[in-house]
Structure 1
């Protein structure tokens, strides 16, 4: 009986060890951070809550709220995912998948992490309340609610950043990729979770981050490997 108890205890300990943070997937390392790219020095402060601009932007949000279609809402909900695979519809190739592109996937994991490392500190300083927090009785988002700062839009930043990087790998698809990146950001307004000025600031931030990390040696090395893998997989 004691033998079986010891075996059970060993099995439990082994199971717990594999569920511990020690075995958790390692987080991708960003290519840059807010020390190098300080958005507080790049972007103007967001409009004040009681400003004419914010009130006008709330009007835009409310107009969209009553005119958006179910398809528009579904698109906004789907674009909550912050990853490069949201560009699958414009790449339009079954080989464009995580399983087929391990180097590309790992590279873009770092690209996505860079957005948070740069944008989150600025959000925490400005603390612009999102539309549904400023006017909770009026604004009804269709996407996941959050209380984090609204300005600049992190989704827009990362969408723009991914679009710039991806279009540099596939210049023959630049127009459709950047159109998709713009839509990715605007879907945050359609979803009711951001102001238009958040989107504008996010696009500026995304382009700035892209132009900065392009100068880094580790970025250049990983970019070329990811680009070669992608183009080979797509037959380009």
Structure 2
């Protein structure tokens, strides 16, 4: 794998061809069925809903703090920004030029993990916290679209947890950092006031379900194998993420107190 890399910072000769619009690895029929795999969301007046509301209140208290700033950054799933969300936890930069297979792995699995949440989202059409508490979100420009997109389960949480699991296979020695990032990436949705705690917990469940399905896909496995070599090459070249990883780590130490 290392021999397939050109000079660090230049494109790979064996970079995967990328369509104009990214597509997932899985056919639609192969996506996990969230309507079967997650229970109904907590009902109004139930203990589960009371816990969701308590965590939401604690998350709202983090507005205008560095943790809120981090949550705003975490909201961006567009690429190339999305490729960098786990760079600090991974310990190397991720981009389409230097790590093209890793970049494709994250971009394509994002689509599959998101698809894994859609059946339940569309069925339950759960109202998001900002629609209930009347408080703003960290991405006001997205609020109109979010109103028509069910809250349960959380797509961002599914994606973040899928990325965490996939990246632990790419870099097993960074597993704790990556899994911690998967957890706090989901918690950013609480801080943003766009998801309830039960949304993010079941979102992580669906992210894991998507990764289980992905392992039966030959293209996914090929990108996974190639990504391991790219990370090894980046480490050998001494490449480091461009992000301020120390500042990110400090921001992410803060959690809503009742978050599970």
Q: Give me the TM-score of the superposition, normalised by structure 1.
A: 0.81
Aligned to 2:221, the other structure's residue is in SS state helix
Structure 2 residue aligned with 1:42:
37
Structure 1 residue aligned with 2:258:
none
What is the aligned counterpart of 2:61 among 55, 66, 88? 66
Cα deviation, 1:162-206, whole Å, max 9, x if unaligned, reads 010011000000000110111100110011111111111011111
- Is the deviation greater in 58-67 or in 183-192? 58-67
Structure 2 residue aligned with 1:140:
136
Aligned to 1:124, the other structure's residue is in SS state helix
Cα deviation, 1:125-167, whole Å, max 9, x if unaligned, reads 111110111232xx33223422111111100000000010011
Cα distance change of structure 1 residues 35 and 171 upon mapping to structure 2, 3 Å threshold: closer
Structure 2 residue aligned with 1:10:
none
Gaps of 5+ in 1: 1-23
Q: Give the superposed CA RMSD.
A: 2.1
How far the C-alpha of 1:80 sits from its partner, in A, is 0.6
Higher helix share: 1
Cα deviation, 1:55-91, whole Å, max 9, x if unaligned, reads 4312321222124552011000000122231012223
- 1 or 2 for the larger relative contact order (CA 8 Å, sep ≥6)? 2
Q: Give me the TM-score of the superposition, normalised by structure 2.
A: 0.74
Tell me if the contact between 1:32 and 1:117 (Cα under 8 Å) persists in the aligned partners: no
Say which one has the larger Rg.
1
Aligned to 2:84, the other structure's residue is in SS state helix
Structure 2 residue aligned with 1:97:
95
Structure 2 residue aligned with 1:160:
161
Tell me if the contact between 2:156 and 2:186 (Cα under 8 Å) persists in the aligned partners: yes
Gaps of 5+ in 2: 1-18, 238-260
Aligned length: 210
Aligned to 2:202, the other structure's residue is in SS state helix
How far the C-alpha of 1:32 sits from its partner, in A, is 4.7
C-alpha separation between the residues in 2 aligned to 1:170 and 1:32?
Answer: 27
Structure 2 residue aligned with 1:229:
230
C-alpha separation between the residues in 2 aligned to 1:220 and 1:134?
Answer: 42
